Amino acid sequence: MEKEENTEETVENDSKIKEPTEIKARKLELLHFFLKDKYAVALFLILTLALAIRIYYFVITNNQPVWWDEADYLTLAKNFVFNTPEMYNPARQIGIVFVLTALYKVGLGVASFKFLQILLSLASIFLVYLVGKDMFNKKIALIAAFFFSVFWVDLFVVTRVFPDSVGFFGTTLFIYLFWKGFIKKDSRLAAWLVGPAFIIAFMSREANLLLAPVVFIYLLITEKFKLFKNKDAWISVCLGLIASIPYFLFYQLRYGNAILQIALRQSQTVDKFAKIAAGKFTILHGHFVFFQQAPDYLRGGLIILFFIGAYIFIDLLLGADLVFKQKEKSLNKYLFLFIWIIAFYAFFSYYQVYDERYLVPVYPAIFLVAANGLYFVYSEIRKRIDWRVALVVLFAILFIVANSQLTRADNLIKIKAGGQWQVQDAGLWLKEHTAPGDFVVTQSRTQILYYAEREVIEFYFEDEAAFIRELEAKKPKYLMLSAFESHTTPDWAYMFPIKYNITPIKSFYETRSGAGNIVVMLYPLYVQQ
């Protein structure tokens, strides 16, 4: 009996001795898995860095007030789920409203959408890497992915309820699928999904519409008229049309016009070109401002790296006839990049619009060319001097780019984080002191609709007399005047309370302590006191 007990004890001790050895073996196996591909480790570190940066800004901006654009998307989503008032601008893309609606439907809200944007941003970085890996090599792909991981425009938009992060994901997904399905031609499924991916990209950010002529021109040059006999292309188009049904159905049911949003944007574009034709804008001015702003979004030397990397287009121009005859297919990738960049450059130069966010669809191409430029510098130094010097230069330039981009992002995000808190507080006060169905007079339309959830009357009247008639008809409870909307508020509106001797009931200053000038004022109108 005693011998059996000793045997059991020995087995138990043996198992205790072996267990750490097995765990150690598993750890070594896991470590080997990561270390066998140094590029995979580098990509993992880049994605980890990107996640850490975005989580940091997610935490410090989680409760920041929403801006006009953000509130416009949010109020329509709340209207779908909670039937609260909305005055949505139908010229905006509807894509993120569908996402917000789904989140509200399951009990989530703004914070969950921002976290989703972080995940989509990481997915975009990964897709940029995959495209760069196939188009150039893994080293250039990693550099491009790193550029995007610290890119200040993306870091800023993921802290806001903007369509840009979803749009960027749509762009990179579309480009990746097009590359796999129509350029490399190694996946028919990828080719079929190009159409639906384009609809996702377009519904998120209308600038992605320019991707259509980019791929069409590329295929027309490389495939000629065989393009129109390509079954995969037709399947892709048909699937894209099916995916677009919710988009057109929404505008048809809501506004009675399935192409209303496209028509509104198209009219704005026509108006811009009409002004250019009339001499109100000059084409030269458009090109100048486009490059003048480039050092801002391509800060940290990215613009220099871009022009260095653009040497690849020299081969393209010298071999243009070979590309057209498809005798040198190795140049096709450069052709695609060239068309991609030129299309967006040409449109926005002529359109006279220079918001960095609007250029989101072309940034992957710019990053790939800039990454190629940095890799060229690294390769030349390694070849002519020493690999250690080349490595130092490589990491020094990456540090300069990251430092410049992150500094710009940090300053912008933190400065804007508390912006317009007065409008937020005013909206919450109005919600507390009014009832559903009440009207409020304000030019901060979208924010008050979002925070107060009350009907809004704006100052868009011919004159004061027309405004008074509207007051008598709808009897709004309060009048809100804001310094933030002074550019759209008529002068007589600011004088209205003084003229009719209306005393403010609530004031919001530049600071929460009450110091500084008054920024927002609330006046009682049809309120029983």
pLDDT of 106 higher than 50: yes
Give 453's DSSP letter. -
List of residues 6+ apart from 237 with CB closer than 8 A:
195
Angle between helices 95-105 and 188-204 (to 10 degrees): 90
pLDDT at 314 over 60: yes
Report the C-alpha gap between 410 and 300 in whole angstroms: 15
Assign 523 a pLDDT band (cuts: 50, 70, 90).
very high
Reported in sequence order, the residue ranges of 298-388 that DSSP labels E, i.e. its strands, are none
Residue 257's pLDDT is: 78
Query: Contacts from 218-226 at CB under 8 Å and sequence distance 24+?
Result: 218/335, 218/336, 218/339, 219/182, 221/323, 221/324, 221/335, 222/323, 222/326, 222/329, 222/332, 222/335
301: number of Cβ within 10 Å: 17
Strand 478-482, strand 455-457: pairing: unpaired
What pLDDT score was predicted for residue 1? 47
Q: Report residue 511 as tokens.
A: 């600071």
Helices (H), 61-109: 68-82, 95-105
Q: Sign of dihedral through CA atoms 439, 443, 445, 451?
A: negative
pLDDT attached to residue 378: 95
Helix (H, G, I), strand (E, B) or coil at 503: coil
Compute the distance between CA of residue 27 and CA of residue 50 in angstroms, rounded to an integer. Answer: 26
Confidence of residue 272 (pLDDT cuts 50, 70, 90): low
CA neighbours within 13 Å on the CB side: how many for 24? 5
- What pLDDT score does 527 carry? 81
Q: 């792909």: which residue's tokens?
A: 141
Classify residue 210 by burial, with Cβ atoms within 10 Å: 0-12, 13-18, 19+. Answer: middle
Q: How far is Cα 352 from Cα 49, in angstroms, rounded to an integer?
A: 35
Report pLDDT digits (tens) over 360-377: 899 999 999 999 999 999
Write down the pTM of the prediction: 0.88
Residues 6 or more apart whose Cβ sits within 8 Å of residue 518? 483, 507, 508, 509
Chain centre to alpha carbon of residue 437: 35
Residue 33 pLDDT > 80: no
Q: Are 346 and 337 in contact (CB under 8 A)?
A: no
Q: Is the pLDDT of residue 295 over 80?
A: no
Mean pLDDT confidence for 324-349? 89
Least confident of 78-82, 119-123, 511-515: 511-515
SS3 42: helix
| 62/109 Cα distance (integer angstroms) | 11
> Are 377 and 320 within 8 A, CB to CB?
no
Residue 22 has a pLDDT of 74
Spatial neighbors of 505 by CB under 8 A, at least 6 apart, are 478, 522, 523, 524
Q: Are 394 and 374 in contact (CB under 8 A)?
A: yes
Q: Using an 8 Å Cβ cutoff, are 194 and 174 in contact?
A: yes
Count the Cβ atoms, other than its own, within 10 Å of residue 385. 11
Let me know: does 215 contact 182? Beta carbons within 8 Å.
yes
The rounded distance, in Å, linking the Cα atoms of 114 and 417 is 14
* Paired tokens of 130: 């995959």
Q: Are the CB atoms for 406 and 153 separated by under 8 Å? A: no
Does pLDDT of 2 surpass 50?
no
- pLDDT tens sequence across 218-229: 999 999 888 899
